[in-house]
Amino acid sequence: MKLLSHFIIGFILSIFLFKIGYGTTNISIFLLSSVLIDLDHLQMVVVNKAFTIDKILQLNKDIYPEYKQHPDTAYLNVIYIFHTIEFNVVLAMTGILNNILFFISVGFIFHIICDVLYFLLTGMPVIRWLSFVAWINSKRVNKE
């Protein structure tokens, strides 16, 4: 799902949160984190050495055709750490103790739910690992 779509949907939810009494600081943390979670996609940029805007746009364009050609290789190894179940379980637990981390966690989880719904509604394949443990396990299994 595109960043702008995440922002628009997050903004609409923010208006609702404001109406039911949440403060602007908490809502801002929620909205920012629901967009900035995608900073973990920079990992792809570094791995593929796509250090110019053109290369990043090309990389983005190539992901799905590349996946269709080689469904068993490269892009199946994509993992975005902030989008993993394990990271979000730990973040949600720390959110019990700290207000800022709580709203970051809510923003992250909201973003991931939007991503999953987007994949389901568009029928696009999920070509990334959603679990860090499953990703590590796949590396181990491939070596055997």
Q: Which residues sit at the interface with Zn ion, rule CB under 5 A?
A: 38, 115
The nearest distance, CB 134 to Zn ion, in angstroms, is 18
Nearer to Zn ion among residue 22 and residue 63 (C-beta): 63
Residue 5 or 24: the one with the smaller Cβ distance to Zn ion is: 5
Residues 6+ apart with CB under 8 A from 6: 34, 35, 38, 111, 114
Residue nearest to Zn ion (CB): 115
CA distance 100 to 91: 11
Cα 123 from Cα 112, distance rounded (Å): 16
Cβ(103)–Cβ(31) below 8 Å: no
Specify the residue, 22 or 92, whose C-beta has the smaller distance to Zn ion. Answer: 92
Shortest reach from residue 136's CB to Zn ion, in Å: 21
Give the list of residues 6+ apart from residue 132 with CB closer than 8 angstroms, or none.
79, 81, 84, 85, 86, 87
Q: How far is the CB of 79 from Zn ion (least distance, A)?
A: 12
Task: Report, in Å, the least distance between residue 112 CB and Zn ion.
Answer: 7
Cα(108)–Cα(94) distance, integer angstroms: 13
**Which is closer to Zn ion, CB of 27 or CB of 44?**
44
